[in-house]
Structures are given as structure tokens and as C-alpha cells.
Structure 1
């Protein structure tokens, strides 16, 4: 099989990133007292910028962190119980086939044949693999603007032509404009619900793109936030053997951002292309899921109450917050079906973010296509109440020039690592 013309040096660096991310799974062991662990982390003064994650050590303990689309509820009780059960076997490899059982369970839930699903430590790594295995200097990538930045970064890595297409007036992916932007693209990347807007692209639009795209290209649909929405998935297009790769993660509604587990759905030949990114590295060696992550993921899939209960909690808090903002005349991006939303702050988002940090609330950043909007993650009810108070106070402040060095570490999009 031909090796994708991405730099093997960069590919090795990406693989090492996935390895480091997967190692975080050990943090979910129920036997580790959270308070003791927090104290240990607080005492560790080692700089964490090298990990690729923002350093929040300078913030007060009661700071509200609603910047990275994490789920404040954490892993479900069923997931933690499963980790506790397999914990005693953690000194050995997965001899009982927990990871295989997880793949089998989700395959059966979606009616997929064997070989159409692969389990990874998070979904950031396989997303890179899906992108990079289908683009090259001669095969471009088409993305929406604004949307999740991992697509453009993959294009830069592979030196692939990149086309950024504005969202529609309803903040959906403009699939016809995306096809027109590069009729010979190797991949079209759709995030649904979209990050950062939280808005949906209708399934019929995605089906149109699948039908009309150039032969040999793929449509990559990132459904990281899909469990929060009311629309239909396109995993059925994988069942139908279409040129589609769908990504799912346990970092969002399942509350397992630090545990690292995610799925890639696709025809076996499309998933096999993941192996072509680097001729020197085997995915079996570097992208294997830990026993703890597999057990937590499997238990979460089998928990019938988890998704509906958490979806309702998120929806209720999100809509209550948006109602608060709307009643006070603040402009929001309508139609979010995710655990985030965007709001216009009438000034550079970086400046507003800095003011909010001073109030003990860390919100998300802005995008170049919408520089005066900031993204806000939906937290717990008390967290969003604190956000509301800080937001009104900061909106009442006159716009001002902000130092270029203000909390620069927070500019790095941490969800690039699916955290």
C-alpha cells in the first residue's frame, strides 16, 4: 500500500503525542483519592507547557474552567466501577479481550460488520490519521470556517492545498460551496455539531456531499459532540459502504477526557490507510488502548441512562444560560446542540478572555473568522451562575488594549488533544 506523502518526521511526532495522551488513562483508578492526587499535583511545580495542555496552576482553586469543552461530570459511576474491576489485572496485558469486546459492542449497536470500527486512545490521533491518509500535495482538504482547527493543521503538515469555506447563514457547513472550492479534493472535513458554534449541518446536506464528491475522495465527519444533539448520525453511511469516515470520542458526553478513548468508523480499506502515514511505525504498537480506558468505554456504552441523562443536564443548563444572555440583549450564535456556545463580546475575544480570567472564570478563545465572539463550554449550574456574574461585569467594562503576553498559554486549543 502506498505511503501517504506526509513528512515521516512529523508523523512520528504525532504518534508520540498520541502515546502520551493515552497514558493519562491511569488517572481514573477509583482507589486513588482525588484530594490526595490534587495535593500532589499542586505540589508539583514542573512546567506543563511541554504536555501541550494549558497551565492553570496560577488560578485560584475555585476558578471555573469552561474553556476546553470538557464534561464536569467526569466518568459515569458504571465506568469507574468497571475500571475498579479490571484494576487488579492492570499488571498484565488485556488477556481477556476487553478492548475487542468494546469494539464488538459498538459494532453491534450500529449494525456494523467486523472490521468497520477501531478503538483508539482518544479520537485526536485517529482524526489526524483519517485526514493525513487522504490528503497530499496533490490532494487538498476542504474545511468550514470557523471550525475545529485540526483539519487545517493536518493540511499544513502534509503540505496539502487547503480551502476554508464560510459557514452558511444558519451556521451550517455549506457543502455545495465546499465542493465548488476544490472539486478534486482528497477529503472534506465536517464537524457535526460544529466546534466552536455548536450548530448542526443537516444530514441531507452531508448525504448530498457524499453523493456528489469526486471519486476516490472521502468525507470525514467528526461527531465528537453528536450525543448532545437531536439530529441523525451518518454512521449508517459507513454501514452502506460509502466513502465516509466517522469519528466518535468518549471525551465529551461520557466525561472521559483524561481517560482517552475514541472510535473511528469506516470501511476496512479506509481504516487500513491509517497505516500508510508512516512506513516506520505500527499502529498496533503505538495506538493501543489501555485496559482501564477500554473497560470504562465498554461500561459507558452499556449504560442505558448515561447519554439521555447527561444530554438533558447539558441541554437544560445550556438553554438556561442562553436565555439569561438573550434577555440581557447579548448576541449569541443561535442553534447550538452541543456542550458549548458562542457569544459576541463586542471586542477582541482575547481581551475579554483576559478580563474573565481576572474574575476567576476561564472561557474559550475566539476564531479569526469571528474575532469578537468567544466560545464558552457548558459547565455545572453553579459554574454557569458564576460565569453569568463575571460575564455581565466584564461586558460592562470599556474595551481596552490587552498585553500580548496575557496568559499566552491559554491560546493553545487544548481540545486538539481531545481533552
Structure 2
């Protein structure tokens, strides 16, 4: 009897067309990086930037680092570093699911939120299903859409000189067949919050089959109402969470994608759930169950943010009304010149968005770091920056085509 030749496409339940589309995107992944905040910040840093020198408030990092409980958990798990310990990873997802009232099948664990963000756009956009995104907004989704061949529709923020929130009505009107509408709330780079009412409107009015991707990387820093209930209600919503911001684990890498199991299965096709570092798993679980961590850090970061926004206002400068750990600052001249002048003094602020060329993003650092920022900013703004240009990006980034982002 001849052994039948199994067709992997037929066995998986995928159509051949979808299989080829996924295969093409997966092949692209082999040569194209998942764009992250760290990569974007690194790309702009001048060649002379020394990571061990100066003030780095350009990547929305948390200078506090992991909590004491997370550091202890990392130290204790190191002897088991020779094991994969996949059950620990499952337990982490189960812990978060239980805390938030989900079945564990609604939570997938990733190395940060960048991967599921990237994979969601790949899974649900195409040349006929655009990505709709705020402008200025976090650029990473556009990178993924560029790979999938999807049109990228940028919608200006509403009232940019004031609230700087997502214009959800304009985002809905931007396309009749959007594949993904991306909403970062609080928004990166402005640090501003889109109201619960507007988020509800967006979810309720989105075309059938459109995935609303809500990035809550900065949610713990604000009083904004989370969007996890949309997932519980079975909506076409995927929510992203990360331990990179308030939890101070940007360099350790841990995050969640939360959504209906059928949606999570589609994004997992592009990257799956690889075994996570056990140090990151241990630190994340310790952080989750530390009941004092979020309110304590939220208060501290909020106080430092408020102090600096008040100082800038007293100096005559406008900044977005941020509730996060970053804000956009109007420098009333080309932002790239101010960036270059600050970098010459070893103070590295955030990049410039083409939609707001006279603004720079500033990350909220420690009080000591922000004191240096204030002193240096005042020095730079009291002189001329005309003609200054940022130095070329680091050699290792030269081959990365960022031009489409503008």
C-alpha cells in the first residue's frame, strides 16, 4: 500500500492562497527586523553617542529598571538557566489571565509587545486592507504594513495644539476596508490619552473584520480605563501589554497579546510563541504580583513629568499634556537642529516626527537626568542652532530603510 503524501496546506485548514501569503510574509521576516522603540532610537543616535555617558532620554525607557522583587526573582532563577522551563511561561500567562478575569487561552506571552504588534499587522493587512494609524504615532506598525504591501493611511491627531488625541471618526472614514486600525493609548510620542468614549465609538463603528489593535504599553502610567473588556466581550480587538515601561524591563523583554483565541492563533502563525528567557518570566511574574509597584512608580514618574512640564511652561514652551513617560515639546525651530545641539552636549532627546518638524520627543527620566536636561535645554535654546544636523546614524543601521516612515 502506497503511503499517501500529506499536503501541509490541506492538513492545516489554510487555503493555498493564504498559505502562500503567510509564507511570503514569513520569508520577509527572515531578512527584515521587527521594528521596536529601541531600534528607532538607536537609529537616530549619532555615531559618537556613548551608552555609558551622558543623559539618554530618547527611548521611553524607565531609568528605575526592574523592581527589587523582579531583581530577586532573576537572581534566584539563574541556576535553572540551563532549562527551557516552558511551564513557567504558561504559568505567567495564566497568572495574568486570572488577575484580569480571562480564560488563559485569551493571553499569549511574547518577548515584549513589539512582536505581536508586528505580527498582527502582517496577519490582518494586505494591499486591499490598509493600516490606519494616527500621525504622529508610533511608527512600528507602518514597518509591518510595508512588508505586507498594505497601504498606510496616516490620520492627523485631533487638536494637536491642545489635547492631541486620536481622531477616531476620521480614522474610521479613512478607509472602507481597513485591515487594522492601530490606537496607542496613551499615545507614543505625545503621551496623551484618547477618551474611553472615543475608543468605544471606534470599536463599535469599525467595519466587520477590521481588527482594532490597542497598544497599552503606557497604560499603567495613566488613569485611562484599560480596553481589556472589549476582548472579554468578543470584539475584534487585540490589546498589547509590555513590561518595558512602568515595570522597567525594556532590556529584559516580556509582554502579552490579549485577544480572542482565533485572533491570537492567526498572529501566532507569523512568529509563534518561542520559549521565553526564564529570567524575564520570573521578573514579570514577580512584578505582576507586587501590588505596590504600579501605584508607587506611577506617582513618582507622574511627579517628575509634572515638574518638567511646569518648568517648560514657565520658560514659554508648549508641550503636549502627557500622562505618560514622554511628551512632545514644541521648540519653535527645526527639531533636528535642537536634537543635534543637545547631542553635542551629551544629552540625547527623542526623535522628530515629520508631521511635527518643530517638535522633539522627550522621555521622562530621573530627577537628576531631568535637571541636566533643563540646564542643557536652556543653554541650547539661548543660542543659535541654525545649520546643525544630526550626525549620520550608526553604521549598523545604515542598511535599514527608514525612509518610508516619512
What TM-score comes out, normalization by structure 1 length? 0.84
For residues 316 and 136 of structure 2, the distance between their equivalents in structure 1, rounded to whole angstroms, comes to: 24
Is 2:246 the partner of 1:253?
Answer: yes
C-alpha distance after superposition, 1:218-246 (max 9, x if no partner): 10001111110111000111111111000
Match of residue 234 from structure 2: 241
**Which residue is 1:199 aligned to?**
192
Q: How far, CA to CA, are the matches of 2:164 and 2:335 in structure 1?
A: 19
Counting only pairs closer than 5 Å after superposition, residues 10-409 of structure 1 correspond to structure 2 as 10-14=28-32, 54=45, 58-59=49-50, 61-94=52-85, 97-169=87-159, 170-277=163-270, 283-284=272-273, 287-333=274-320, 335-403=321-389, 406-409=391-394
CA distance in 2, matches of 1:7, 1:263: 22
- What is the rounded CA distance, in whole Å, between the counterparts of 1:73 and 1:283 in structure 2? 31
Query: What is the rounded CA distance, in whole Å, between the counterparts of 2:114 and 2:44 in structure 1?
Result: 14
Sort the Cα spacing of 1:52 and 1:121 in 2 relative to 1 into closer, same or farther, 3 A: farther
Identify unmatched segments of 5+ residues in structure 2: 1-13
Aligned length: 376
Q: Report the alpha carbon displacement of residue 62 of structure 1 after superposing the two structures with TM.
A: 4.3
Instruction: Flag structure 1 segments of 5+ consecutive residues without an equivalent.
Output: 25-47
Distance 1:378 1:167, change over 3 A: same
**1:229 and 1:411 mapped to 2: Cα distance?**
36
Residue 142 of structure 1, CA deviation: 0.5
Q: Is the 8 A contact 1:365 1:411 kept in 2?
A: no
Contact 1:354 1:407 in 2 (8 A): no
SS in 1 for 2:207: coil
Residue 408 of structure 1: how far off its partner (Å):
2.7
User: Conserved in 1, the CA contact under 8 Å of 2:46 and 2:393?
Assistant: no
Determine the structure 2 residue equivalent to 1:31.
none
CA distance in 1, matches of 2:284, 2:349: 28
The Cα shift of 1:214 comes to 0.8
Q: Which residue of 2 aligns with 1:30?
A: none
Deviations 1:56-84 (A, max 9, x none): 76448441100000000000010011111
The CA distance in 1 between the partners of 2:244 and 2:272, in whole Å, is 21
Instruction: Indicate conservation of the 8 Å contact 1:145/1:369, yes or no.
Output: yes
2-structure distance, mates of 1:251, 1:230: 18
Distance 1:200 1:17, change over 3 A: closer
Q: Judge conservation of contact 1:60–1:360 (CA < 8 Å) in 2.
A: no
Q: Structure 1 CA distance, aligned partners of 2:149 and 2:52?
A: 43
Cα shift at 1:54: 4.9
- Secondary structure of the corresponding residue to residue 354 of structure 2: coil
Residue in structure 1 matched with residue 3 of structure 2 by the alignment = none
Contact 1:198 1:336 in 2 (8 A): yes
Q: Secondary structure at the match of 1:274?
A: helix
